[in-house]
Structure 1
Amino acid sequence: METAVLILLLVIGLALFFDFTNGFHDTANAMATPIATGALKPKVAVLLAAGLNLVGAFLSTEVAKTVSHGIIHEDQLAATALLPLIFAGLIGAITWNMLTWLLGLPSSSSHALFGGLIGATLVGVGAMAIDFGVVLSKIILPALIAPVTAGLIAFTVTKVAYAVTRRHDGKPDGRDGFRWGQIFTSSLVALAHGTNDAQKTMGVITLALIAAGWQSAEHAEPQLWVIVACAVTIALGTYMGGWRIIRTLGKGLTDVKPAQGFSAEASTASTILASSALGFALSTTQVASGSVIGSGLGRRGSTVRWGTVGRIAVGWLLTLPASGAVGAVAALLVVWLGPVGIVIDAIAAVAIVLALFLRSRRNEVHAGNAMSEVADSGLAVDVPSDPPPTRRQRRAKAAAAAKNSGSEQTEGER
């Protein structure tokens, strides 16, 4: 019994750390664009996102129920079998999150979590312990449908935005007023992130409590202390900024016009909020990327570089199997070595996190230099520069130059 309690505490601690990594990993989904366009200062943006993540975590628990009472048949497993598998699955998710953060890769924290849990369960128990119907209907299909839906919404909103407005500020990009709208829409994305992503950690902790017999399986609703702990943790992670991924998304998005940014964020927020209400465990990263592509297609004259989109999609496809493989290896150690395997997993997890963190210190990215480089994912939307001058404009410019030259010569003669 004491061993089960110790494992439960380890699972809760590891789940909260995953929640923390989820926060700084996904900050860019909401705040990269307003930071890049100058609508918000970097530190103000992450503080706003943290506060809204905190609020959003209290608005819905449908996604938490999907995780805690849907993916794994917890009623068929004893606590001694399920708790170590949850622990192993979290190691897989955290490892992938930390690695992709180091690389500045905007991958899915959600799919890393599900991949780790599924990989550990397959190795530790077998396929019969997984409800593949729920995995297909509430994880796989939404992952395929949601980015397309968000892209279509962003495409439509961008078309409407450019149809009902006109350039009136005299600046080359025009429509700078949409930068103010970006503050509102990016705030909605941050709020939506709290309603969806914080719920996943709540679901994991609730699943662990059910497995340990500390909560009834008939009542899969997260307890109040679980909701508060997860909300505060993801808010703290969000405030850390995740500047590497903000650099990846934000620097590239500086070529996206304010109207496009507004449209993409509005689409992302509406898609995630609707999915949270239905209990779909979406990837906010995939939804945000789909919205950006849709907004690029919606602006006349801009093109989408499908080669870059394909490379980003490959990264998405690797998330489930990669995190699942790490979770499976961690679960193998538990199966082979029992409690000793859990200790080895814990030491390995700490070593991996520390190694990746220390590696990141060699080329630290922070609020002051996050926008200093352009990453490949920023090339997803290619907006052409201002058109070359016409022949009449060139003649007028040459005439003006000749006139100025003549005036200078006359002045010199005087």
Structure 2
Amino acid sequence: MTSTLILAIIVVLLGLAFNFSNGFNDSANIIAIPVGTRAVSPIKALILAGIFEFIGTYFFGQAVAKTIGRGIVEPSIFVGNKYAVIILFATLLTSTLWNVICTILGMPISASHALIGGLIGSAIAIAGIEVVKWNNVLKIFLTLLLAPVLGLVFAYILTKIVYFIARSAPRKINKLFKTLEVLASCFYAISHGSNDGQKAIGIITFSLIVLGLYSPTQDSFAPKWVIIACAICITLGIMFGGWAVIKTIGMNIYKIKHVNGFIAQLSASLVIYFASSIGLPLSTTHVITTSVMGTGAAERIKCVRWSVGRNVLFTWLLTIPTTALVAFFVYRLIFFILKILVW
């Protein structure tokens, strides 16, 4: 077995581990709301989330994977550079570790922020600041900022409309939305897979291009086996759950009713799916969080626990610079060790 193939296997395993941790943290948000409102049991919610997450990751395009794989840093410029593979180690180690730590702490962080920050930091470490496609990074950053705001606004407006229409029979309407809420959670799982499920696909494909093992075709940016493997791993992450994060989203921000759960998930799904269709990665966690806050604020603003939102915002703002800095030094450390021991 050649050294290139060994490196490829290691990077692929790290990428799949990242997708598993992504599922463990981010995708738990899919079941938080329907479970929190008792619209469906945790086991049924996990099964539904797993099925529809796989569908979203596998069948709903590769636009986000392409953005991650070559929209931030062009992988072809590193082909033949024996140090370039360290970029992937540093990126995936940093982002996976950040995901796991924040999950343990019960903070719904963004896997997108962690992955993008890690990729930027490690790429700068090997080739300098000019290697990063800053125009694309700016578009992504603006999307990361704007998407949660849109989720909040859409949920707020939609809640006001629904409550105005159903003002004469609010309890009957809430019962009606119990079924719709479960359907909305399935739609959210699909939209989540179309965005978050694509990120590891992009980074693994990036590594295969750098190692000279794969060239994208007109029909597909990523190899089919990578798409399937990533879809399976994020689904397994969901099945193992992320109960601390589930509690944060489902209950700590706002005690949700069925109608609010439906509106929050529908609003978040629309924002996420639109971003996925144009290849923009975003924080699905933060979109669903602000959507929950938006529907809660529309009903009664004092019911929303804004302190939880502030904690989420703090982690949100901290993730990209922290992971970029850590990945920069992780790259330097791995480079230093390998230069002494191997190269």
Same fold by TM-score greater than 0.5: yes
C-alpha contact 2:201 2:230 (8 A) present in aligned 1: yes
Q: Distance in 2 between matches of 1:74 and 1:60?
A: 21
Whether the aligned pair in 2 keeps the contact of 1:96 and 1:322 (CA below 8 Å) is no
Point out the structure with max Rg over C-alpha: 1
Does 2:176 align with 1:177? yes
Q: Deviations over 1:61-108 (max 9, x none)?
A: 000110111111223223413211111110000110110011111000
Q: Sort the Cα spacing of 1:319 and 1:301 in 2 relative to 1 into closer, same or farther, 3 A.
A: closer
| % identical equivalent positions | 35
Q: How far apart are the structure 1 equivalents of 2:108 and 2:325?
A: 20
Deviates more, 1:160-169 or 1:120-129: 160-169
After superposition, the Cα gap between the structure-2 partners of 1:304 and 1:125, relative to the gap in structure 1 and judged at 3 Å, is same
The SS at the match of 1:265 is helix
- Letter matched to residue 160 of structure 1: I
Please name the residue that 1:6 is paired with.
Answer: 6
Change (3 A) 1:84 1:159: same
Question: What does residue 405 of structure 1 align with?
Answer: none
**1:179-194 equivalence runs, <5 A:** 179-194=178-193
Residue 98 of structure 1 is matched in structure 2 by 100
Check conservation: 1:334, 1:340, Cα contact below 8 A. no
Q: Distance in 1 between matches of 2:77 and 2:302?
A: 54
Secondary structure of residue in 1 paired with 2:9: helix
Matched-pair contact (CA < 8 Å) for 2:28–2:238: no
Query: How far is 1:180 from its partner?
Result: 1.7
Q: What is the deviation of 1:271?
A: 0.7
Query: TM-score scaled to structure 2, two decimals?
Result: 0.92
Q: Which position in structure 2 is the counterpart of 1:127?
A: 129
Shift of 1:157: 0.8
Give CA-to-partner distance per residue, 1:369-401, whole Å, 9 cap, x none. xxxxxxxxxxxxxxxxxxxxxxxxxxxxxxxxx
Aligned position for 2:26 = 26
TM-score (norm 1): 0.77
Aligned residue identity for 2:153: L
CA offsets 1:355-376 (integer angstroms, 9 cap, x no match): xxxxxxxxxxxxxxxxxxxxxx
Cα deviation, residue 217, structure 1: 5.8
SS at match of 2:198: helix
User: Quick one: which amino acid aligns to residue 119 of structure 1?
Assistant: G
> 1:110, 1:221 → 2: CA distance?
19
The separation in 1 between residues aligned to 2:44 and 2:7, in whole angstroms, is 39
Counterpart residue number, 1:198: 197
1:316-331 alignment to 2 at 5 Å?
316-331=316-331
Aligned Cα RMSD in Å?
2.1
- CA shift, 1:2, in A, is 2.8
Confirm or deny that 1:153 pairs with 2:154.
yes
The answer to which of 158-167 and 276-285 deviates more is 158-167
Where does structure 2 lack aligned partners over 5 or more consecutive residues?
none
- How does 1:8-407 map onto structure 2 within 5 Å? 8-58=8-58, 59-77=60-78, 78-137=80-139, 139-166=140-167, 168=169, 175-216=174-215, 221-252=221-252, 255-300=255-300, 302=302, 304-338=304-338
Unaligned runs of 5+ residues in structure 1 are 343-414
- Name the stretch that deviates more: 203-212 or 68-77: 68-77
- The 1-side partners of 2:170 and 2:4 are apart by 65
Report the Cα distance in structure 2 between the residues aligned to 1:179 and 1:47, rounded to whole angstroms.
18
**Structure 1, residues 236-274: CA drift from partner, whole Å, max 9, x if none?**
111111112112222325622322221111100111111
Q: Which moved more, 1:259-268 or 1:217-226?
A: 217-226
Residues 12 and 79 (structure 1 numbering): CA distance in 2 closer, same or farther, change over 3 Å?
Answer: farther
